[in-house]
Structure 1
């Protein structure tokens, strides 16, 4: 069974797949290449829970391709997936965002080492809030 962190990212991938399918149904992309891309995406969804480390490169490749092949939906790619797959995906994240995710990862690791639960969303919200007294 996948751990909660992996399960969360699988849900994000499923959501992204739904967006990709809708894009194809709206006939905004060439059908044949889109269909082959969705097949590879489904392969990732199958392989990731079985072997997360081996699936890392396929995930990096596919997430980068989503951004490059489908720029009209690039803004809909969950930022958490960019961090999760890392590698070339990190090129699509600004430095300040990378710093927040690095802090999140350190907090998650610390909680895991101490056998404590970790709420990714709650910590992400706290780290993303502007510091008290900072002007907008």
Structure 2
């Protein structure tokens, strides 16, 4: 059975990979170490496709993106920080973590009741001002 949440994060990883690839093509980074990093990144994507629970390598690689490529840190999808957790959460403010905790609770409740859950839609609903209508 397909897991939309997992697929969403795989798509975000593919997006981030595209950004990293563009960095190399623009020759903004050391070519040799960048190529090795991209190999490890591809390995992460392949491993997550086969074993979605294996996230420890992702924590390490996402943290390395912040350290190796600080110029693109603002382009790293915040959802990936939450998805991998652990040390990645150090790059998120407490308020943002609280929003992701609410999202996670909603996702869990929807799964338990067999209801569909649209991560992006729910995230937009949570980011609306308090006086806006919500479902």
Pairwise TM-score range, normalised by the shorter structure:
over 0.9
CA contact (8 A) 1:2 1:49 kept: no
Match for residue 111 of structure 2? 112
Counterpart-to-counterpart distance in 2, 1:48 and 1:114: 26
Q: Are 1:126 and 2:108 an aligned pair? A: no
Cα RMSD, aligned residues only = 1.2
Q: Which residues of structure 2 form unaligned runs of 5+? A: none
TM, length-normalised to structure 2: 0.94
Structure 1 unaligned runs (5+)?
A: none
Give the length in aligned residue pairs: 132
Helix, strand or coil: the match of 1:53? coil
The answer for the alignment partner of 2:10 in structure 1 is: 10
Determine the structure 2 residue equivalent to 1:72. Answer: 71
- Segments ≥4 residues shifted beyond 6 Å: none
Q: Describe the superposition over 1:16-36 as per-residue Cα deviations: whole angstroms up to 9, x where unpaired.
A: 000000000000000000000
Tell me how far apart the structure 2 counterparts of residues 20 and 39 of structure 1 sit (CA, whole Å). 11
Residue 2 of structure 1 deviates from its aligned partner by: 4.2
> What is the TM-score when the length of structure 1 is the normalising length?
0.94
